[in-house]
A and B are shown apart, each in its own frame.
Chain A
Amino acid sequence: MRVTIDGVPSQAAQGQTVAGALLAAGRTSWRTTRHAGKPRGVFCGIGVCFDCLVTVNGVADVRACQRVLVDGDDIRTEEP
């Protein structure tokens, strides 16, 4: 599968989550908090904490750890 992460084309495997792809690419954080601007990435990994939010195909606030990639996905993070 081919997906795009912050504008950079990359390969993804069947069953890979957005968080899996970001971590595999060496990213550990991709969002900042509202007040103190602290970095956030994956924390709970199972859809509970909402730390890992990304924008998928223009839809904001998608949990990266829950969203399984499909061919052609365009992933945008808040802090590329």
Chain B
Amino acid sequence: MRVVVIGGGPAGLAAAGAAAAAGADTVLVDSEPVLGGQFHRGHPQRVDARVRHLANSTVWAVEGMRLHVRTGQADSPSRTGEVLNADAVVLATGAHDRVVPFPGWDLPGVYTAGAAQALAKGQGIAIGQRVVVSGTGPFLLPVAQSLKAVGAEVLRICDANTGLGWLGHPRAASPAKLAELLGYAVRLRSAWRPRTAVVAAHGEDKVNAVTVAKLNPDWTIRSQERIAVDAVCVGHGFTPRLELAVTAGCTLVDGFVAVEHTGATSVPGWYAAGEVTGIGGADLAAAEGEVAGTAAARGSHPSRALAKVRSGRRFAAALAAAHPIRAGWHTWLTDDTLVCRCEEVTYKDLRAAVDLDAAGTRTFKLTSRVGLGLCQGRTCGRAAIDIATALASDRRTFFTPADLQRRPIATPLRLAELASLPEEDL
């Protein structure tokens, strides 16, 4: 029985440990040099010694239960290849920051919240000396804390929602999580501003100021002020990393991998855990990983982890309800605001593509070139689909988010690497 776990963050670590403990021959594939994922960055984690850990490794293609892996330095043509044949797979590929576009968001000095966090925790670097943090969700608080720890002055923490909605769900909350969040809130309260947002970044070659707006509940602008900064960090929740799930054929619901209580997806032998199944944080991800890893290895029912999953999901639902993305952000855009950073597709270009009666995601992409650049829509896809759906509101909705996650080659590969693959691997 071989279980392959993809992703070495909290969910994948727990899944690999549980699968090995249940007696499966377990392989953990992770793209980072050390384990821990984004959450534990700067604090490398260990995994059960029985697990074969493939570091610096990425699953770039999936054919049934055959996984194609490259191992080596990031983007290096000298990576080596391997094919893993799995009896069960646990997808724990996590999520990356979702950012809604605004004028100037492509200026150097504007970073995602995840970048600010990774640079602070992993590299000891502050993205700036005078920083405004903006977006929505509890993740903004630990990011602001990390920025302060590396010497940045955090001028504002702007949450476009009220940010306190989750306090209205005390039965849903885990006491430890509430205490952690309240701790941040106390330490950071002087900078925290509910119902505000960075709606524009200014500068020539680098950001030197932002427009911070007070918002209505629908995120339209009430009033604005200009603040001098040397960096901005933005995060509007997270987008799951779905390429492998989509390629494997897993059913999605509301943009996440649909799972049963065991973590089983709609595809036999494929399990999923952590943020690819819904945004819930590291504790929930670890509990889901334990459940899915155990189920994948056909181990005995982990009842404590299952109970943690149930309570964690209630808390996650309360947090999600408190941090919606409201359509008022569309009113922040100007004609020349870039939506697709790679292909330099503006809001005006998207409008023109929809006006041409783009009949679905494919024609919308081919007409406007949105999502066809280097990042393949990973950064802008969600926003582009939201904009297109809003603009085409008087017509049938053709646009589905999964269409922007369809990437049969899940991670960039060099042609020389493809050419060097042994024939039996193709």
- Which A residues are closer than 8 A to B by beta carbons? 15-17, 19-20, 23-24, 28-29, 33-36, 38-51, 53, 56, 59, 61-63, 65-68, 70
Q: Compute how far the CA of A16 lies from the CA of B114 in the bound complex, rounded to whole angstroms.
A: 17
The answer to whether B161 has its CB under 8 Å from any CB of chain A is: no
Which secondary structure characterizes the binding site on chain A? loop
A16 CA to B107 CA, complexed, in Å: 24
In the complex, which residues of chain B have a beta carbon less than 8 angstroms from the beta carbon of A39? Answer: 107-108, 205-206
- Find B123's partner among A17, A38, A50 (CB 8 Å cutoff): A17
- Tell me, yes or no, whether B197 is within 8 Å of chain A by CB: no
- Taken together as a complex, chains A and B put the C-alpha atoms of A5 and B33 apart, in Å, by 22
Q: State in angstroms the CA–CA spacing of A67 and B33 once bound together.
A: 10
Indicate with 1 or 0, residue by residue over B22-50, a CB within 8 angstroms of chain A CB atoms: 00000000010100001000000000000
Contact between B108 and A40, CB atoms less than 8 A apart: yes
Residues from chain A with Cβ under 8 Å of B118 in the complex: 45-46, 65
Across the interface, do A43 and B341 meet the contact criterion of CB distance under 8 Å? yes
If the complex has contacts A24-B125, A44-B97, A50-B375, are A63 and B74 also in contact, measured as CB distance less than 8 A? yes
28 A-B pairs in the complex with CB atoms less than 8 angstroms apart: A15-B122, A16-B123, A19-B123, A20-B125, A23-B119, A28-B108, A29-B206, A36-B344, A39-B107, A39-B206, A42-B119, A43-B110, A43-B341, A44-B114, A44-B379, A45-B112, A46-B38, A46-B118, A49-B342, A49-B375, A50-B373, A59-B76, A62-B76, A65-B115, A65-B118, A67-B76, A68-B73, A70-B73
Complex Cα–Cα for A41 and B128 (A): 14
Q: Is B378 an interface residue (CB 8 A)?
A: yes
Q: Which of B38, B106, B119, B344 contacts A20 (CB 8 A)?
A: B119
The reply to whether B206 and A50 contact each other, CB–CB distance below 8 Å, is no
- CB A57 to nearest CB in B, in angstroms, measures 9
List the A side residues contacting B341 at CB < 8 Å.
Answer: 33, 40, 43, 49, 51
Measured CB to CB, the nearest residue on chain B to A24 is B125
Residues in B neighbouring A67, C-beta threshold 8 A: 73-76
Docked complex Cα distance between A16 and B122 (Å):
8
| B326-363 at interface with A (beta carbon < 8 Å) | 341-342, 344
Say yes or no: A49-B379 contact (C-beta < 8 A), given A24-B125, A43-B115, A59-B77: yes
CB distance from B207 to the nearest CB of A (A): 9
Judged by DSSP, the binding face of B is loop
Contacts of B112 in A (CB 8 A): 43-46, 49
Q: Specify which chain B residues have a CB less than 8 angstroms from the CB of A51 in the assembled complex.
A: 341, 375
B374 at the interface (CB under 8 A from A): yes
Q: Which of B77, B111, B123 has the most CB of A within 10 A?
A: B123
| CB pair B114 A35 closer than 8 Å | no
CB-based contact B206/A28 at 8 Å? yes
In the bound complex, residues from chain A placing their C-beta under 8 Å from that of B115 are 42-46, 65
Distance of A24 Cα from B119 Cα, bound (Å): 10
Question: B108 touching A20 by the CB < 8 A rule?
Answer: no
- A residues in contact with B76, CB < 8 Å: 56, 59, 62, 67
Q: Does B237 reach chain A (CB closer than 8 Å)?
A: no
- Interface presence of B116 (CB below 8 A): yes
B195 within 8 A of A: no
| Interchain residue pairs A-B with the least CB separation, the first 4 | A45-B115, A66-B74, A20-B123, A50-B374
Interface string of B94-122 (1 = CB under 8 A from A): 00110000000011111110111111001
A45 contacts B111, CB within 8 Å?
yes
| A48 with B379, Cβ < 8 A, contacts A29-B206, A43-B112 known | yes
Q: Distance in Å from the Cβ of B167 to the closest Cβ of chain A? A: 30
Could you tell me if A28 and B109 are in contact, using CB atoms closer than 8 angstroms?
Answer: yes
Partner of B344, one of A19, A24, A34, A68: A34
Q: Roughly how many angstroms separate A65 CA and B123 CA in the complex, as a whole number?
A: 10
Q: How close is A6's CB to chain B, nearest CB, in angstroms?
A: 17
A34 to B111, CA, bound (A): 21
Enumerate chain B residues within 8 angstroms of A66, measured Cβ to Cβ: 31, 74-75
Q: How far is the CA of A34 from the CA of B373 in the complex (A)?
A: 11
Q: Is the CB of B344 within 8 A of A33?
A: yes
Q: How far apart are A39's CB and chain B's nearest CB, in angstroms?
A: 5
In-complex Cβ contact of B74 among A33, A40, A43, A47 (8 A): A47
List the A side residues contacting B119 at CB < 8 Å. Answer: 19-20, 23, 42, 45
Known: A29-B108, A36-B344, A50-B374. A68 touches B77 (CB 8 A): no
Q: For window 60-76 of chain B, which residues contact chain A by CB distance below 8 Å?
A: 73-76
Contacts of B117 in A (CB 8 A): 45
Question: Distance in Å from the Cβ of A58 to the closest Cβ of chain B?
Answer: 10
CA gap between A24 and B205 in the complex, in Å: 18
Q: Which of B75, B77, B127 contacts A63 (CB 8 A)?
A: B75
